[in-house]
Structure 1
């Protein structure tokens, strides 16, 4: 993996960490109420959920990837998945309600149970089908650009998760400040922005299917 791919993968992980949802709030809440170690245990469970989705997305779409890896329609499919996910995020009327309800959750434990927090993080992430849609779209786009090299693909997604986890550590350390800033209105607006970004990214991926790779390389370099 060259430095360009590493940087792109790390940035994807960074922006993923700010996708507002139940996991985001539970991570902040866990850090404030139960401490950094508890939040890290919870976050590792979340990451394992992402690993599960990545494996499902990769092996579930592998035959499709092998058949159309040189077909520009692959980018159209991946872009369409991200656009649909972005539209769902943007148009979701429950965003504001979810923000209000989640911000009111209070759970003051007597003693931390790290295994329970780990399992909670895993299942809270794993039951979100939108996360699978995101990883599926990403796999469909990234796979062909790495020539379907399995080790390169998993290395790329490993860096994404590294960027995600590193950013989450920062969120955990700044949890109290984030908690005070993340009002329901701010949450609602951030979700709207994230939806728009996913839609734009999806359109760019679809466009990439109609632009020769040589032109893209000339533009990037």
Structure 2
């Protein structure tokens, strides 16, 4: 069991630093709304990961592979991300602060569930996350002999490590709070919105041009070894 735990920790650290919409929105939430808000958001993200892991474990590899590679799901997930980013961008543009003395809004009790749902959905619509967990099941499952107890320990450690690193990221981002003027908050949110739109566009392109992107990835793989010689 200890061997499984030590093998899972680096994977959890890697997962915590994967750049995606969740990564940036978590930092934005921590810096602007504080620790509690970011924690609620992150719990929603973790719940979505648990759902994906459950799907990966209880479904057949053949079914999951077909779902993972379905172009329609990439287009659907990408469209949701792009739409969310666009709406947020337009909303923030209309809310451009007029003065520098506006206080950052504090979290209300009624916002807790909303932040968890936001974290869940933002992670869940990214079909690439399903592919990630599926890949881990396929790679590490046989090494763990598909033993339910060992799998539970391994993936619980991955998620726990990921969560602990996220707490550290939240605490670091929260320190930026006192340096954030309304103008900087506006620019920060605007940048996050643009990043989410970009991630959505990437997912849509994976759905619209799967073969072309696969060829491009193979070409890049061939170029990289040549450069390393």
- TM-score with structure 1 setting the length: 0.60
Match of 2:150 in 1: 152
Gaps of 5+ in 1: 65-76, 82-87, 89-98, 192-198, 204-221
Q: How far off is 1:132 after superposition?
A: 0.2
Q: How far off is 1:147 after superposition?
A: 1.1
Computing the radius of gyration over CA atoms, which structure comes out larger, 1 or 2?
A: 2
Per-residue Cα deviation, 1:114-157 (whole angstroms, up to 9, x for no partner):
11101111111011100000000100111111111112112110
Distance in 1 of aligned mates of 2:154 and 2:120: 21
Match of 1:215 in 2: none
CA RMSD of aligned residues (A): 3.8
- Alignment partner of 1:132 out of 124, 130, 134: 130
- TM-score with structure 2 setting the length: 0.58
- Alignment partner of 1:172 out of 165, 170, 173: 170
Distance in 1 of aligned mates of 2:21 and 2:36: 19
Write out aligned runs for 1:97-116 (5 A). 109=105, 111-112=107-108, 113-116=111-114
Distance in 2 of aligned mates of 1:130 and 1:144: 22
Gaps of 5+ in 2: 69-73, 75-84, 96-103, 180-187, 200-216, 222-229
Number of positions where the alignment pairs a residue of Structure 1 with one of Structure 2? 158
Distance in 2 of aligned mates of 1:176 and 1:154: 32
Match of 2:54 in 1: 55
